[in-house]
Structure 1
């Protein structure tokens, strides 16, 4: 409406200009009528009556009578108000009322114009019959016989009738003009309204596109940050930020195509919105990552809410005729408990989500501790690449003790990083960065090469210890992984059965078909496979039965609770019986005291690892320690382990 109101100004100006123009045209029309009438009087009445008169000498009686006869009719009927015939010197030689005075001065430009043979016309006030206006015409008088100017005819013609006629014409013109201007204004207003409406729609569309994801229609990353800041500033002053990442989304794109991946993302978006509350915010941050803002919830409420959302997500969906189950990892950061800034809370949620991807619990609430910034992980990844070139990585070996006689029955290779400025780093400080990048593959290759080389040396020294090396789920997904490991074994001349690859239970649970194929390929080449951290990944018995593993390692979570938790005792005893029933060797991790060692031995556990039995050492230290004849309980812990 502002544009429509503003358009009144040019429309009004246009109307004023047109009205002024029409008035000027009307005045000119009146003047032209007066000019024509004066010409007629001068040529048809005055000039013939004068013949060859010399106005400077005055008129004869005959000439005066002729003029009276020629002009009386016009004067009588009012078509002429006043009439004066003047010589070039300004003398009045004839007038309608017989007077010889009056008229405009000789010096007046109008008189001088007529004196040189041109007509001057103007609408002027009627000074003698005020108020009113008359048309004053100064017309040169030309003798009819000689054709030369002999004087000036000063005529005053009535203007009222002409003015009335013109006023009537102007009134009609004004109405037409007003109607045209109103129509123009309405058209401009309509155009203004339509244009403004279109611009508002376009602006709203642009704003929506700037703050919404084109594929799912959800708010995007920019909108998430805006709403997240608003949630932190407004009541209630508690709630949760949640990061959701789909598991194995890349496989859907690679196998079924990006159109199927897009359809899957739409389904996930719809299900998340349906499963959450109206006041909750669901956004797509990019790729297969979603962000949730859940205001007014505590830890228990957010877990319950997300459990329902996760159950909704896992409902089967059919894409391109193939039934799929959607799995996702939820990382939760609570505010203000875990922070008061958006970036800080997102880092906590990201850390929790990453922990969920590595573990089996799909919903992980941040548990505190230092959160590495993403740029710090980039620095770690860059430095880790140089660590290969500078030979900064080292291996320590933790012995596995056979519980029946206390002898070493194998060692587990554990990688450390001798950082040039930060000292000896534990795996937790750099393995996550390697897992997030492609560095886990060269890192695993380095560990295998070094472990097999060290094993060759201790076999030469008379220590026949099998060596265990941890591998990740990404290694199992790597094409030709089993063949590359077998090639390394052959190159070092080590018997294949002296190498054990430890695979976490969560890696087996992540993509079971692919993991089983990789494990079968490894075992067929004579290399042993152990299931690490058993008990926390919820591997099904049928799945375990299908995997040809030779060893099961019970997670320290259950071993640590043996002395005080009857449920842990029942679980460990069941695992031992299950493993023996499947023909597997059983090793317990995290044995820290003698009571637990005795309980495991009595329960039939085959081997154990832990600080009670031996801490990680370099292989040289381990060789020297065993050569000195010390028992495993006497193996010291090296500095920085």
Structure 2
């Protein structure tokens, strides 16, 4: 419907434009015709007057002037002069080449007329007569006063005496105009036909030009409108068209009480295709994705390319569960294997879903929610994620956090807390995990969940990780100088491992602080290992070759399988707290944890259980062969001098009994997987 309205609007605009061209052309052609007719008529009359001038000149020179040689018009003509003049003009009068002829003195007296009368003629006070007296010739086409219809050419000119060559009077001559007028009418009729045909052809040519121009402009406008609202690569609607259609769909749903969804789709590891197969293959993949999404959705749904490898979907008139079912079908259609440049590929994508009106009624609000849900999907194991209030971070808020976090690093507002790992073998601290906190000047001490998701989506994570590594190595040098050689563990993200030269950067920091590589353990989340597998695996291999330990954090909730650990030489596996909390009462979790412990040991990895909070769980893990444990049973995350003080001055009830005491309020912040 949206496209049909645009077509009708362009068609109506084009018709009005052509009509304007046609009317303007017709007006111009008619004006040109009127001007040409007037010009032709004026030319014909001028031609008649000139013909009269020539004829009058001949009559005056050949007939009148010789007959009046030596005459004094003021005194009248002699009989001889009258006879000569009569004889000279009779033939012209008889043949009709002259209608009337008068010879007048300067006072206006008629001294000779063709009919013998001495009265009549033009008034002596007229401009024409005075001009003739002054020696000029006046010619005009006038109505014949002696006939009810018809015109004559009136000529008034001086009479020149033959011998003296001086003007002696005025010749008033009336010449026939009917023949000239008839010839003029014939010429004008022929001219009208020629002019009419020519102007008609001209109008048709102008009309054709106008029609062609209008059509070209309409096509150009349609092309420009299409280009302005469609992606040049895939032919799909672009971001501007997507927003317009989304507003329309939301407005319709609001008016009718309906519902629908705004969906953002982002391809996973699209950069690998461009880097490996070239941009032409990436372009072909984008076209394929657009085509498959369009085929998987309904006729009235919209698929748009918003930019890069991001697509947008509008699913109107569809309830929430049906939206998820439809998107699951679209995901299956999208992930069908394809072949690009001879290489088989499986397309993977993350879908972020925001429902209207449940999650908002403004396009920008829904896009933010869909974007947040999409990034949640990229960090988790589910490809299609429905926005949940409070369940995902707000990307707009992330921009503010990212900017503030950069300043916080420069102002040294970050602090490190440490949580010990306790060995089951001897009940001793086997190492400390560094957990970053933000001492915000207005909001107080912030846990990692308040700022790490935003940092991981930008380059801030690299600066943050560098700060944590330096501060952790400085703190480790402090407790080592006091006699405790505890290794330190630092969390790193997928962006860190994918950054060029990261292993060399870590090695440089170790050398700078004179720290043996074996005293540093880098913890990588399971989802990070499942990112760009080849690059991450290469980085892990380089780190291990330098003697730096690498642990898989939060194992069991992401994509990594134990078989993948054969190709990634990690030194430790940390079982996620989800499987540990009620381990002594959950047979299924017991079976999972026991299998992980046995298989990890078979691969030469140590096993650490996270989230140990009760002595019963600790005892079960020790019996199952787990190597280390972390959790509130031993200590909350605290600053390292507090741990050192508790270690050097243990209570009589046991070395780690004091670690179970609640820490100061600022130290009670829950730990978690952080860099």
- State the TM-score, normalizing by the size of structure 1: 0.91
Deviates more, 1:483-492 or 1:288-297: 483-492
The CA deviation at 1:201 is 2.4
Structure 2 CA distance for partners of 1:112 and 1:487, relative to 1, 3 Å: closer
The CA deviation at 1:104 is 0.9
Matches for 1:486-501 after TM superposition, within 5 Å: 486-489=507-510, 492=513, 494=515, 496-501=517-522
Q: Indicate which of 616, 628, 637 corresponds to 2:650.
A: 628
Distance 1:589 1:299 in 2: 36
SS in 1 for 2:352: strand
* Aligned residue in 2 for 1:386: 407
SS in 1 for 2:298: coil
Structure 2 CA distance for partners of 1:53 and 1:565, relative to 1, 3 Å: farther
Deviates more, 1:489-498 or 1:307-316: 489-498
Distance 1:318 1:370 in 2: 37
Structure 2 CA distance for partners of 1:487 and 1:37, relative to 1, 3 Å: closer
* Aligned residue in 2 for 1:68: 86
The CA deviation at 1:635 is 3.0
* Aligned residue in 2 for 1:443: 464
Q: Indicate which of 211, 221, 237 corresponds to 1:203.
A: 221
* Aligned residue in 2 for 1:557: 578
* Aligned residue in 1 for 2:65: 47
* Aligned residue in 2 for 1:275: 296
The CA deviation at 1:363 is 2.3
Distance 1:387 1:14 in 2: 80
The CA deviation at 1:103 is 0.6
Distance 2:132 2:278 in 1: 98
Distance 2:103 2:650 in 1: 155
In the alignment of these two chains, the number of paired residues is: 641
Please say if residues 580 and 586 of structure 1, whose CA atoms lie closer than 8 Å, have aligned partners that are also in contact: yes
> For residues 451-507 of structure 1, what are the alpha-carbon distances to aligned partners after superposition, in whole Å with 9 as ceiling and x for unaligned?
334344445556564432211112222334334434544555555444332211111
Please say if residues 376 and 392 of structure 2, whose CA atoms lie closer than 8 Å, have aligned partners that are also in contact: no
Structure 2 CA distance for partners of 1:564 and 1:346, relative to 1, 3 Å: farther
Q: Indicate which of 513, 535, 543 corresponds to 2:556.
A: 535
The CA deviation at 1:81 is 2.3
Distance 2:75 2:469 in 1: 142
The CA deviation at 1:146 is 3.4
Deviates more, 1:327-336 or 1:363-372: 363-372
* Aligned residue in 2 for 1:291: 312
Does the alignment pair 1:193 with 2:232? no
Matches for 1:610-629 after TM superposition, within 5 Å: 610-626=631-647, 627-629=649-651
Distance 1:158 1:307 in 2: 102
> For residues 127-152 of structure 1, what are the alpha-carbon distances to aligned partners after superposition, in whole Å with 9 as ceiling and x for unaligned?
22223322111132223343332322
Please say if residues 55 and 151 of structure 1, whose CA atoms lie closer than 8 Å, have aligned partners that are also in contact: yes
Q: List gaps (5 residues or longer) in structure 2.
A: 1-17, 670-675
Distance 1:141 1:483 in 2: 123
Does the alignment pair 1:155 with 2:181? no
Distance 2:658 2:624 in 1: 21
Does the alignment pair 1:141 with 2:159? yes
Please say if residues 437 and 445 of structure 2, whose CA atoms lie closer than 8 Å, have aligned partners that are also in contact: yes
Please say if residues 350 and 384 of structure 2, whose CA atoms lie closer than 8 Å, have aligned partners that are also in contact: yes
* Aligned residue in 2 for 1:639: 665
Distance 2:260 2:596 in 1: 40
SS in 1 for 2:37: helix
Q: Indicate which of 87, 93, 104 corresponds to 2:111.
A: 93
> For residues 40-88 of structure 1, what are the alpha-carbon distances to aligned partners after superposition, in whole Å with 9 as ceiling and x for unaligned?
3222333333332322222233333333333333333333222222122
Structure 2 CA distance for partners of 1:337 and 1:611, relative to 1, 3 Å: farther
* Aligned residue in 1 for 2:492: 471
RMSD: 3.0
Q: Indicate which of 390, 415, 431 corresponds to 1:369.
A: 390
* Aligned residue in 2 for 1:418: 439
Structure 2 CA distance for partners of 1:632 and 1:284, relative to 1, 3 Å: farther
Please say if residues 372 and 395 of structure 2, whose CA atoms lie closer than 8 Å, have aligned partners that are also in contact: no
> For residues 423-448 of structure 1, what are the alpha-carbon distances to aligned partners after superposition, in whole Å with 9 as ceiling and x for unaligned?
11111222233223323233223323
Structure 2 CA distance for partners of 1:453 and 1:66, relative to 1, 3 Å: closer
Please say if residues 238 and 335 of structure 1, whose CA atoms lie closer than 8 Å, have aligned partners that are also in contact: yes
Please say if residues 406 and 632 of structure 1, whose CA atoms lie closer than 8 Å, have aligned partners that are also in contact: no
Distance 1:50 1:514 in 2: 127
The CA deviation at 1:102 is 0.5
Structure 2 CA distance for partners of 1:552 and 1:89, relative to 1, 3 Å: same
Distance 2:613 2:361 in 1: 39
Structure 2 CA distance for partners of 1:433 and 1:631, relative to 1, 3 Å: same
Distance 1:6 1:309 in 2: 55
Distance 1:186 1:66 in 2: 64
- State the TM-score, normalizing by the size of structure 2: 0.86
